[in-house]
Amino acid sequence: MAILETIGVEKRFGGLTANADINIQIEEGAITSIIGPNGAGKTTLFNILTGYYKPDRGEVHYLGQNITGWPVHKIVRKGIARSFQVLNIFNEIPVFENIRLAVQADQKKGFHFLKSTSKFRSINERAEEILDEIGLFRVKDVITKYLSYGDKRILEIGIALASRPRLLLMDEPTSGLPSSETERVKNFIKRISEKMTIVVIEHDMNVVLTISDNIIVLHQGRVIAQGSPQEIKANDQVQEAYLGGIV
């Protein structure tokens, strides 16, 4: 069953068409990777799916409901969350506080400066639960800037998990990581995929081919292929677009 679907989605920036006639279906419970050369329109599509951009044409449906043009906060409340290519975390506060702030925002508890947040037991318990789930409880009191880059990547995903998403979109979660950290983040993605549907933009084809149930290939703003990793590897049009980059 498709949890998310786009119908003829297009997005233009002046004379540049970033996305053209995008028709995709995201299968619930699967890991779907969106791949393509730089400038293929991957992040633009993510921004449309998560409410940061409104498409010029077409529709986005989530769980059968038309959510086209909905604001970001409404889409998050509906069950869609995302992480970003550029880390979106608070470096000068402890790891625990990053998660607690995200949980507090999700639970709509007021940021009352005269009331100690330690009284918000449910917030603290939920934050600790997330830290345990993502494997960062051991560093919960560490100032975030001192984490390894891999831990920071996982922390940002943990922040996204605070909204209890049913669908999680990740923009290049292994970008800039050494091979050892890449393997760790890859395994983490596989583990959390047991609880939610995941869509990933990723350039590392070793990661894509080992974690993905389905792959969508964009080139010059258009979908040129969709299918299993085996089907994508055997697709001549994909091979041409990548100049032999997939083997």
Q: What is the pLDDT of residues 19-51, one digit of tens each?
A: 999 999 999 999 999 999 888 999 999 999 999
Average pLDDT, the chain: 90
Distance, CA of 227 to chain centre: 20
Task: Say if residues 82 and 170 touch (Cβ distance below 8 Å).
Answer: yes
Give the pTM: 0.88
Q: What is the 3-state secondary structure (H, E, C) of the chain?
A: CEEEEEEEEEEEECCEEEEEEECCEEECCCEEEEECCCCCCHHHHHHHHCCCCCCCEEEEEECCEECCCCCHHHHHHHCEEEECCCCCCCCCCEHHHHHHHHHHHHCCCCCCCCCCHHHCHHHHHHHHHHHHHHCCHHHCCCEHHHCCHHHHHHHHHHHHHCCCCCEEEEECCCCCCCHHHHHHHHHHHHHHCCCCEEEEECCCHHHHHHHCCEEEEEECCEEEEEECHHHHHCCHHHHHHCCCCCC
Of the residues 126, 143, 164, the one at which a domain ends: 164
> Rounded to whole angstroms, how far apart are CA atoms 197 and 67?
18
pLDDT digits (tens, 9 = 90+) for 61-77: 999 999 999 999 999 99
Of the residues 103, 133, 164, the one at which a domain ends: 164
> Rounded to whole angstroms, how far apart are CA atoms 7 and 52?
18
Q: Clarify whether residues 246 and 176 are in a common domain.
A: yes
Q: Clarify whether residues 40 and 100 are in a common domain.
A: no
Q: Clarify whether residues 26 and 129 are in a common domain.
A: no
Q: Clarify whether residues 200 and 102 are in a common domain.
A: no
Host domain of residue 242: 1-79+165-247
pLDDT digits (tens, 9 = 90+) for 144-181: 999 999 999 999 999 999 999 999 999 999 988 888 88
Say if residue 115's pLDDT is above 60: no
Say if residue 114's pLDDT is above 90: no
Q: Using 50, 70 and 90 to split pLDDT, how confident is the model at 188?
A: very high
> Rounded to whole angstroms, how far apart are CA atoms 123 and 82?
21
